[in-house]
Structure 1
Amino acid sequence: MSILGESGGMSASADGGGLSRARLGRMREILAEGVESGDVPGLVALVHRRGETHVEALGTQSLDEDAPPMRPDTIFRISSMIKPITAVAAMTLVEECRLRLDDPVDDLLPELADRRVLRRADGPLDDTVPAERAITLRDLLTFRLGYGATFGLPEGCPIQRATAEAGLEIGPDGPQVGADEWLKRLGALPLVHQPGTAWMYHTGADVLGVLIARAAGQPLADVLRERVFDPLGMRDTGFHVPAGKLGRMAVPYGTDPVTGGMARSREARAGAWDRPPVFASGGGGPSLLSTAGDYLAFSRMLLDKGRYDGGRLLSRPAVELMTTDHLTPGQKAGNEMFLGSGGWGFGLAVDARRDDLAFRPGRFGWTGGLGTEAYADPHEDLVGVLLTQRVFDSPVAPRVFQNFWTAAYAAIDD
């Protein structure tokens, strides 16, 4: 892999990988404007095409006066960007015939057997009907198991109150109980929809993490390390940061409700991320931690249909199945906040049409709610990774994200 640029420095070689050097320079200017304007404290942006990689590290790791500058290997909380990783780990077990897509999960997840389903999504918890069928692995991968985010329901409806009381709300810090207790609490609630009928964000990935840990007979962190991180050389990716690497971690920020400016969200160096979490989430809370280079290795594996420099992680058919939209129009309805004009494969989004320069049909990947994003475009042989520490806690994402993708596509030079 050739590095075209790092923190703005350019090599003496001619344009490579079908990317314009001049336009990559313009991308740096655009991203720098986002940092200087206060849109984000800092960022690491990476564009990879045809074997060549351009990296920009701009701003600082925090807003402190003595904050170290961003660097290409700065460590970020990537939250929901773990969802495609969890799906890949599941597919390795499918290829070993230890799991099957359409088998019920009851044997490994008895807490979810014999489900009851709300007659109305916003109705009383005791007004239920039997589930028409069992939940399957395919349901978990496609987020159609009947559990998930209830953002479209009236605020304070019974299922939302019960979810909060059970400590099952979706958030960046994740459950404060272990996986077995978490699943037991989830299983005490009725499904919101019949299995296989409606897309609901997030919870399927957390259940999937429990399933593959039980199927493999190992903690989820070990499953991901052995099946994904170690083979791909993702040495800075994990559920906690060793003490010797804490100095490379970006401090997360959210929006101050009083001033509208940025306020520190969690203190990275106060012990929050230097030990394994109580619940290792397959969906993103508590957040996985990673770097732009590590996530590039993962995205390139998917872009190369399962191959990586050391061999093959998944078969080509498995990756093609993962990156195909599996939702019907009816299942997408009401989920435009998450899916936009696209669809959902196995643990990741799949763009459906080009209605902006920042999108492309067939592009796949996902976003982390703590300010990160990575997508791969097989038509352009392109990977883009943008990592910031600005939490998405307002209706409009920081402009730097759309600007990054617009500039990345504008830099294509063939």
Structure 2
Amino acid sequence: MSAKKAGTLREILQRHVDEGPLPGAVAMVARGDRIEVAEVGAADTTAATPLTRDSIFRIASITKPVVAAAVMMLVEDGRIALDAPVDEWLPELASPMVVRTPASPVDDVVPAVRPITAFDLLTFRSGHGFPSDFTLPAVSPLFSELKQGPPQPQHVLPPDAWMAALSRIPLLHQPGDAWLYNIGSDILGVLIARVTGRPLPEFLAERVFEPLGMVDTGFAVPAGKRDRVPYYYRKDEAGGLEPIDAPDGQWSTVPPFPSGAGGLVSTLGDWYAFARMLLADGRAGDRTLLSPDSVRQMTRNHLTEPQRAAGTLFLEGQGWGFGGSVDVRAVDPWNVPGRYGWVGGTGTAAHITPSTGQVTILLTQLEAEGPVPSALLRDFWRYGA
């Protein structure tokens, strides 16, 4: 272990749990056959049930790479093309309007100069989503109409009604011009369902979860597994914990809108199985889920330097592949060039580094306080660098 690593993985997690108010965390740093796993703390504030590698977490935005992989399966099947307009399946996006400037009122609009493609959605450049400035007039309907923000699966409209609401909200930028956070993955979830004629949970179960043995991953937790689900918390004003969701709460039944941006539950081992598939160029045992070219497209940067700079609030200078960031920096110890993955607002993070074969996964049940990575995340990434 190098001198920069301040203790073992377990010691790093334990220090943050001891400092509070984090109830617990599980984490993995793996490179080839060398796998280090740490399990610290409890599933709730009573400390009665310890967290383990089999605990089932609400993984939020580390759902995004999984959905991007599913889209690439449809590309390989010949069902959709990356550069083709998506309005054949998403007619709500057939004639999008764009605010004249990002700061314009929502009724000051111009037509989009070209159609939206699957590539636009995968790279988060469709014109939908969050900029660094949340005060822009066209951003407000994303919260009020589409329920974007912290996941609340049982309170989002069903897909057809959600898409109808989306069609009434103008784009913030012309398609292809700017990186905007989050909504692209939700739209991709609807696209998958409409292209295949099957609900998103069903398609993911057949094409991703079953082949990879991701037996605890889905949009809801069956009754027999809920004893493995921790409570979910956020920090309150006094610095303590406020419960947001219980094991039998919002993830106990399949939601009206299965969110491709942040709706999954999963475990350390399940997401590791997905990561290993990507590191193996799309193979899992004797099965091929994706071609090496599809994996390369997912895990390389597609943004221009100005687009990266404009996404500073979320990206901190990183690039973006399909469904996850791609680190193109080398300015801090934890900035590993080529690292692909993302973080979740429920207190999760998962990355792979194709050049080294490394996987890092951190799962907690404490809501992130914003898009800036927490001290725990930075300590974890420094350890795994």
TM over 0.5: yes
- Where does residue 239 of structure 1 map in the other structure? 219
1:124 maps to 2:105: yes
1:361 maps to 2:340: no
| Structure 1 residue 385 displacement after superposition | 0.6
- Where does residue 166 of structure 1 map in the other structure? 145
1:140 maps to 2:118: no
| Structure 1 residue 377 displacement after superposition | 1.1
The answer to whether the Cα contact below 8 Å between 1:301 and 1:308 also exists between their aligned partners in 2 is yes
| Structure 1 residue 396 displacement after superposition | 5.1
Amino acid at match of 2:236: D
Question: CA RMSD for the aligned pairs?
Answer: 1.8
- Where does residue 12 of structure 1 map in the other structure? none
Amino acid at match of 1:129: V
Q: Distance in 2 between matches of 1:353 and 1:41?
A: 32
Out of 397, 405, 413, the residue aligned to residue 381 of structure 2 is: 405
- Where does residue 35 of structure 1 map in the other structure? 17
Q: Distance in 2 between matches of 1:391 and 1:112?
A: 32
- Where does residue 412 of structure 1 map in the other structure? none
Q: Distance in 1 between matches of 2:98 and 2:71?
A: 26
Quick one: structure 1 residues 162 and 77, their matched pair in 2 at CA, closer, same or farther if it must change by over 3 Å?
closer
- Where does residue 276 of structure 1 map in the other structure? 254
- Where does residue 324 of structure 1 map in the other structure? 300
Quick one: structure 1 residues 185 and 320, their matched pair in 2 at CA, closer, same or farther if it must change by over 3 Å?
same
- Where does residue 84 of structure 2 map in the other structure? 103
| Structure 1 residue 25 displacement after superposition | 6.7
Runs of 4+ in 1 over 4 A off after TM superposition: none
- Where does residue 53 of structure 1 map in the other structure? 35
Quick one: structure 1 residues 386 and 164, their matched pair in 2 at CA, closer, same or farther if it must change by over 3 Å?
closer
- Where does residue 263 of structure 1 map in the other structure? 242
| Structure 1 residue 341 displacement after superposition | 2.3
Amino acid at match of 2:13: L
The answer to whether the Cα contact below 8 Å between 1:148 and 1:203 also exists between their aligned partners in 2 is yes
| Structure 1 residue 132 displacement after superposition | 0.5
The answer to whether the Cα contact below 8 Å between 2:343 and 2:349 also exists between their aligned partners in 1 is yes
Identity %: 45
- Where does residue 201 of structure 1 map in the other structure? 181
| Structure 1 residue 176 displacement after superposition | 2.1
The answer to whether the Cα contact below 8 Å between 1:50 and 1:381 also exists between their aligned partners in 2 is yes
Q: Distance in 2 between matches of 1:140 and 1:159?
A: 18
Amino acid at match of 1:130: P
- Where does residue 26 of structure 2 map in the other structure? 44
Q: Distance in 2 between matches of 1:310 and 1:373?
A: 28
Q: Distance in 1 between matches of 2:213 and 2:34?
A: 18
The answer to whether the Cα contact below 8 Å between 1:117 and 1:193 also exists between their aligned partners in 2 is yes
**Residue deviations 1:7-57, cap 9 Å, x none?**
xxxxxxxxxxxx79xx79722222211111115210111111113322111
Aligned length: 382
Pairs within 5 Å for 1:322-401: 322-394=298-370, 397-401=373-377
1:229 maps to 2:205: no
Choose 1 or 2 for highest CA Rg.
1
Out of 8, 16, 36, the residue aligned to residue 26 of structure 1 is: 8
TM-score if structure 1 supplies the norm length? 0.88
The answer to whether the Cα contact below 8 Å between 1:168 and 1:186 also exists between their aligned partners in 2 is no
| Structure 1 residue 263 displacement after superposition | 1.8
SS of the equivalent of 2:205 reads helix
Out of 89, 113, 137, the residue aligned to residue 94 of structure 2 is: 113
Name structure 2 gaps, 5 residues minimum: none
Name structure 1 gaps, 5 residues minimum: 1-18, 410-414
- Where does residue 9 of structure 1 map in the other structure? none
Out of 156, 163, 167, the residue aligned to residue 187 of structure 1 is: 167
Amino acid at match of 2:68: A
Q: Distance in 1 between matches of 2:282 and 2:6?
A: 28
Amino acid at match of 1:30: I
SS of the equivalent of 2:26 reads strand
Q: Distance in 2 between matches of 1:97 and 1:166?
A: 33
The answer to whether the Cα contact below 8 Å between 1:39 and 1:398 also exists between their aligned partners in 2 is no
Amino acid at match of 1:399: A
- Where does residue 315 of structure 1 map in the other structure? 291
Quick one: structure 1 residues 162 and 29, their matched pair in 2 at CA, closer, same or farther if it must change by over 3 Å?
closer
**Residue deviations 1:163-222, cap 9 Å, x none?**
444244333114521001000100012211101111100001000100011111100001
Amino acid at match of 2:254: P
The answer to whether the Cα contact below 8 Å between 1:41 and 1:60 also exists between their aligned partners in 2 is yes
Amino acid at match of 1:244: G
Quick one: structure 1 residues 393 and 205, their matched pair in 2 at CA, closer, same or farther if it must change by over 3 Å?
same
Q: Distance in 2 between matches of 1:132 and 1:238?
A: 38
Out of 158, 171, 178, the residue aligned to residue 178 of structure 1 is: 158
The answer to whether the Cα contact below 8 Å between 1:326 and 1:343 also exists between their aligned partners in 2 is yes
Q: Distance in 2 between matches of 1:216 and 1:395?
A: 33
Q: Distance in 2 between matches of 1:58 and 1:332?
A: 35
**Residue deviations 1:292-320, cap 9 Å, x none?**
00000001111111111242110001100
